[in-house]
Amino acid sequence: MYGNASSIHYYGQLAKQRLEMGRRETASLLHCDPREVVFLSGGTEADNLAILGTVRSRTASKKHLITTTIEHPAVLNTCRELEREGVDVTYVQAGPNGVVYPADIRNALRPETVLISAMHANNELGTIQPIEEIASIAREAGVLFHVDGVQAAGKIPVDVRSLGVDLYSISGHKLHAPKGIGALYVKNGTRLNAIQFGGRHERERRPGTENVPGAAALGRAAAVAVENLEAESARIASLRDRLEQGILARVPDCGVNGRRSPRTPNTTNIFFDGLEGEAMVISLDLKGFAVSSGSACSSGAVEPSHVLLAIGLSRERARASLRFSLGHSNTEEQVDALIGAVAESAAQLRKLSPTYTAVAVANE
């Protein structure tokens, strides 16, 4: 449907129908009114619009924002931009389990606080944050609450009304839609300034000709996720547990970061003492497995993961940690092959590692 969805001619209206079908299906994933869904280019733009749009809509001379130290760069760097504009930002620490304590959010509140922004599930650990409790604190204080739900939507049930949030970001490619499409839930009545300027598209929230194929694909992916959520989440969680147990059984001096917290079913983060995570990434890549030593949006960074440092890991252990992500196409056979590849790579690299020798001696 190549017509412009904002045109009134026949082809434009066909495109509009597909756009709105995608909006309805996306709204069903989030349990909201379709009119509360804004289509954008992805999770990063959704986070930017939510945070910049709400804070800049306030005219007070003093403004304050609360977020956490384990957020995605899409949130952290947006907050730093607001700091350059004169907004005060409090970065609440997460606990060693990878979860933020709601009491710390409450203690950070000020009379001039206008927004709280916290992720639903961490992108490196998979740890699920206490969103309902934080939302209750925000409501009591009369403060808007934005949630980065990119890592949660499609993995765990998301009902924005039950959660009590005002804004919720999602990204299409995390649901197996194409890259370059995302959405932001904006609760009806929420004040939100546009951060881009042009036409009056998306209820004047986001100008520009709508990405109809992307929106239709996101909607369809959302509908599939809704249909299969319970069974698929259980299956992938079983694969994650199989992966963790297999690696822990075959590789000494390793462990799961954030293991004791509620987590999304698809993500695990494992440290391998005495090794460099980047070396493991390369070794496993050569064996046909794609893993990560941090956020994909921070690839190429020489610093260890800010998330792992924020929960109290040493720089050495943070550098020695790998994130494994599982999806609908993965099988038990693939997981078993990955376990073998991890064990083989760890053994090979540790033979060359003077750091691991020191660790082994220290543990004897």
For the chain, the structural domain boundaries read 10-225, 230-363
Token pair of 57 as six digits: 């809509």
pLDDT band at 101 (very low <50, low <70, confident <90, very high): very high
- Angle at which helices 73-84 and 43-56 cross, to 10°: 30
- Whether residue 46 has pLDDT greater than 60: yes
Percent over 70 (pLDDT), the chain: 95
Question: What one-character DSSP code corresponds to residue 178?
Answer: P
Average pLDDT over every residue of 63-91: 98
At residue 71, the pLDDT reads 98
- pLDDT tens digits, residue range 235-254? 999 999 999 999 999 999 99
Average pLDDT over every residue of 80-100: 97
* CA angle at 235 for the pair 152 and 23, rounded to the nearest 5°: 40
Report how far residue 100's alpha carbon sits from residue 92's, in angstroms, rounded to the nearest whole number: 8
At residue 2, the pLDDT reads 85
Token pair of 208 as six digits: 């520009």
Q: How far is CA 138 from the centre of its chain?
A: 21
Average pLDDT over every residue of 35-55: 98
Cα torsion through 10, 12, 17, 20, rounded to 10: -160
Considering Cα of 140, then 144, then 150, then 156, what sign does the dihedral take? positive
Candidates 3.30.70.260, 3.30.390.50, 3.40.50.300, 3.90.1150.10; correct CATH number of 230-363? Answer: 3.90.1150.10
pLDDT band at 323 (very low <50, low <70, confident <90, very high): very high
At residue 300, the pLDDT reads 55
At residue 307, the pLDDT reads 97
1, 18 contact by CB (below 8 A)? yes
- Whether residue 296 has pLDDT greater than 80: no
At residue 356, the pLDDT reads 73
Q: Which residues are catalytic?
A: 297
Report how far residue 335's alpha carbon sits from residue 332's, in angstroms, rounded to the nearest whole number: 5
Average pLDDT of the chain is 94
Token pair of 127 as six digits: 């740890």
Report how far residue 28's alpha carbon sits from residue 20's, in angstroms, rounded to the nearest whole number: 12
At residue 361, the pLDDT reads 46
Cα torsion through 231, 163, 180, 223, rounded to 10: 40
Give SS3 for 94: strand
- pLDDT tens digits, residue range 142-184? 999 999 999 999 999 999 999 999 999 999 999 999 999 999 9
Average pLDDT over every residue of 307-322: 96
Average pLDDT over every residue of 25-35: 98
At residue 295, the pLDDT reads 55
- Whether residue 207 has pLDDT greater than 80: yes
Token pair of 234 as six digits: 């259980």
Token pair of 261 as six digits: 């917290």
Query: How far, CA to CA in Å, does 5 sit from each of 19, 157, 208?
Result: 7, 31, 11
pLDDT band at 354 (very low <50, low <70, confident <90, very high): confident
Count of Cβ atoms closer than 10 Å to residue 68 Cβ: 26
Average pLDDT over every residue of 125-138: 98
Candidates 3.90.1150.10, 3.40.720.10, 3.40.640.10, 3.40.190.10; correct CATH number of 10-225? Answer: 3.40.640.10
Considering Cα of 52, then 55, then 57, then 63, what sign does the dihedral take? negative
At residue 364, the pLDDT reads 39
Query: How far, CA to CA in Å, does 25 sit from each of 37, 227, 321?
Result: 10, 11, 37
Report how far residue 176's alpha carbon sits from residue 179's, in angstroms, rounded to the nearest whole number: 8
